[in-house]
Amino acid sequence: MSRRKENKLGRFLVCLLIFIILGVGTFFGVQFFTKTGIFRIPGVVYYGEGLNEAETAKLKEIFTEKVDLDKDVTIDARYVLELPELSAGEYLYDILMPVTDFYSSETNVDVENVEQLFDAEFLAANGIKLIPVSELDFSEKLLSLNGKYYLDEFTSGAVYRIIDFKSEKFREEIWPLVSDMFDKTFPGSDTVLTFAQTGVTALSRGMHTKLKSVKDGRYFAEQIGPYLSSFDITHTSNESSFTDLAADRNICSDKEFFNTLLAIGLDVVELTGNHNQDCGNQAALDSIDMYEENNIKIVGGGRNATEAKVPLELSQKGTNITMLGFNQSTGGATLGSTPGANQYYENVAAEQIKEAKARGDFVIVDVQYYECAAYASEYEDPICDKANSSAGDQIGFFRHLIDLGADVVVGTSAHQAQTFELYKDGVIYYGLGNLFFDQVWWPGTTRSLILSHYFYNGKLLQTKMVGTVYDKNMQTRLLDEDTMKWWIERLVKVRP
């Protein structure tokens, strides 16, 4: 080979070597400066001090050594008293409820900051504990928090646990790994069924006298109407039929009083009462027509015995409820082909409850029982507070309905509200008192209890008892907080 050719080959090899060196240098240089390839530093997971041990352990099960992240991620958590608008990377992990004893008269707890609710001394001094919303059950009483009731508000009235992920590649890298942690739903206004049960309604006698002056049935519901009509389902036990025969001394209702029921947003009328035939069968039949024309469902009564015993099935927001209404008192039951209340028969009640439970329904049984009449005109007589103040074995009768499978048993005949109790897996409210009536001469009969039920996925989360009262103006209104507390303490003292 000539020297000239050797020089050319040498120059080529030198250039090739330089090219290779520059290429390799560039390749590794880019990796070095971009922290990729052999110089790549894997993303690191940083756990903030706000995370508790259980959360940190769960996250470490996800972010194991086998997980190769491109970017760092910082994970932290916090508790807040108001659910904020969540930004990217922030997720609601849990909701904690302040609860107390079922029989407590307390309704609210005030705190200055969220840390107080994790102070063991503060919780013990106030008889409070925090539980996850998934454990909320009617056997413990949910408290309002700083005046906000969670099942009415949903974005306040509880302690909200927020977990925050900060990463440049959160959506691509982190969310696919942690999404299962947040694959959960919480109660909300679109999933919680609200159901108000009220006591005796008898739009008659002295109320008829008042109607002559006010000339508008909506007058009597002016103050309570907005509250009751806010529920998904509103119930009352109406004891008087609508007729032109209504007068100042009979238990019959002027047809204008139907506007009172419309003003409270009535959805379900119970006809177990013993006065619906006071102005004759035709008035009772006409009243049933009026209910049906206004899409008001009927339970515990009907045009005849066959119709009266049909259970009422309610289905809304993922909850199925069967309501049964029975007359077990001094009259008013249908006599076969005539209109009236549904007479109680043991075999019928047992079979209907069994069928409802087999369907997976929540079962509410309302009972028109014998009345306690030991009222006092000058002072608060507590005799009628007791569950055994009426004729017969009221306690045994109501408890037996729970034994048959009912979830909630409610007495809807008491003109003066009675005590209540947890019994086995159910709850009993022995009497709710007068929602609308003219009995202003007995202090104990001017008040009533509204049972505000909250259901979620077929489960009763809570029943909040709300008090009402009326006076000589005969406008029913919500009871003030101090009187309500005194009243609940009084009823609790005489529970079975």
Which structural domain, as residue segments, surrounds residue 297? 192-493
pLDDT given at position 390: 82
Residues 217 and 151 in one domain: no
Q: Which of 121, 153, 182 delimits the end of a domain?
A: 182
Closest CA to 200 of 463, 448, 452, 495: 448
The CATH number assigned to the domain holding 198 equals: 3.60.21.10
pLDDT tens for 430-454 read: 999 999 999 999 889 999 999 999 9
Tens of pLDDT along the chain (496 residues)?
Answer: 565 555 665 665 556 556 566 554 554 444 444 444 444 467 899 999 999 999 999 999 999 988 999 999 999 999 999 999 999 999 999 999 999 999 999 999 999 999 999 999 999 999 999 999 999 999 999 999 999 999 999 999 999 999 999 999 999 999 999 999 999 999 999 999 999 999 999 999 999 999 999 999 999 999 999 999 999 999 999 999 999 999 999 999 999 999 999 999 999 999 999 999 999 999 999 999 999 999 999 999 999 999 999 999 999 999 999 999 999 987 899 989 999 999 999 999 999 999 999 999 999 999 999 988 887 777 777 899 999 988 889 999 999 999 999 999 999 999 999 999 999 999 999 999 999 999 999 889 999 999 999 999 999 999 999 999 999 999 999 999 999 999 999 999 999 9
Alpha-carbon gap, residue 14 to 306, rounded angstroms: 108
pLDDT tens for 350-379 read: 999 999 999 999 999 999 999 888 877 777
The reply to whether 365 falls in a domain is yes
The reply to whether 36 falls in a domain is no
pLDDT given at position 40: 47
Closest CA to 199 of 389, 399, 423, 369: 369
Closest CA to 410 of 270, 266, 265: 270
Tokens coding 41? 């530093």
The reply to whether 25 falls in a domain is no
Residues 172 and 198 in one domain: no
Residues 216 and 119 in one domain: no
Q: Which of 151, 182, 213 delimits the end of a domain?
A: 182
Residues 274 and 391 in one domain: yes
Residues 197 and 168 in one domain: no
β-bridge pairing 426-429 and 408-411? parallel
Query: Which 3 state secondary structure label does DSSP give 90?
Result: strand
The reply to whether 306 falls in a domain is yes
The answer to whether 494 and 419 have CB atoms below 8 angstroms apart is yes
pLDDT given at position 43: 86
The reply to whether 276 falls in a domain is yes
Tokens coding 404? 């048959």
Where helices occur in 127-246 by DSSP H, the ranges are 150-153, 175-178, 206-214, 225-228
Residues 287 and 146 in one domain: no
Q: What DSSP string describes 410-479?
A: EE---SS---EEEETTEEEE---BEEE-S--SSGGGSEEEEEEEEEETTEEEEEEEEEEE--TT---EEP
Alpha-carbon gap, residue 436 to 201, rounded angstroms: 5
pLDDT given at position 380: 75
pLDDT given at position 134: 97
What residues are paired with 238 via a beta bridge? 201
Residues 176 and 247 in one domain: no
Write the CA distances from 228 to 260, 269, 308, 349, integer angstroms. 12, 14, 26, 29
Q: Which of 182, 201, 222 delimits the end of a domain?
A: 182
How many other CB atoms sit within 10 Å of the CB of residue 112?
7
Residues 158 and 245 in one domain: no
The reply to whether 24 falls in a domain is no
Residues 107 and 214 in one domain: no
Backbone angles phi, psi at 432, to 5 degrees: -105, -15
The reply to whether 333 falls in a domain is yes
The answer to whether 243 and 285 have CB atoms below 8 angstroms apart is no
The answer to whether 274 and 329 have CB atoms below 8 angstroms apart is yes
Q: Which secondary structure element, helix H or strand E, spans residue 316, and what is its range? A: strand 312-316
Residues 278 and 152 in one domain: no
Alpha-carbon gap, residue 490 to 393, rounded angstroms: 22
**CB-neighbour burial class of residue 1 (10 A; exposed 0-12, middle 13-18, buried 19+):** exposed
Residues 207 and 61 in one domain: no
Tokens coding 308? 């009266």
**CB-neighbour burial class of residue 242 (10 A; exposed 0-12, middle 13-18, buried 19+):** buried
Give residues with Cβ within 8 angstroms of 188, minimum separation 6.
154
What is the value of pTM for the model shown? 0.91
Tokens coding 398? 């109501």
Q: Say how many domains are in the chain.
A: 2
Residues 422 and 348 in one domain: yes
The reply to whether 476 falls in a domain is yes
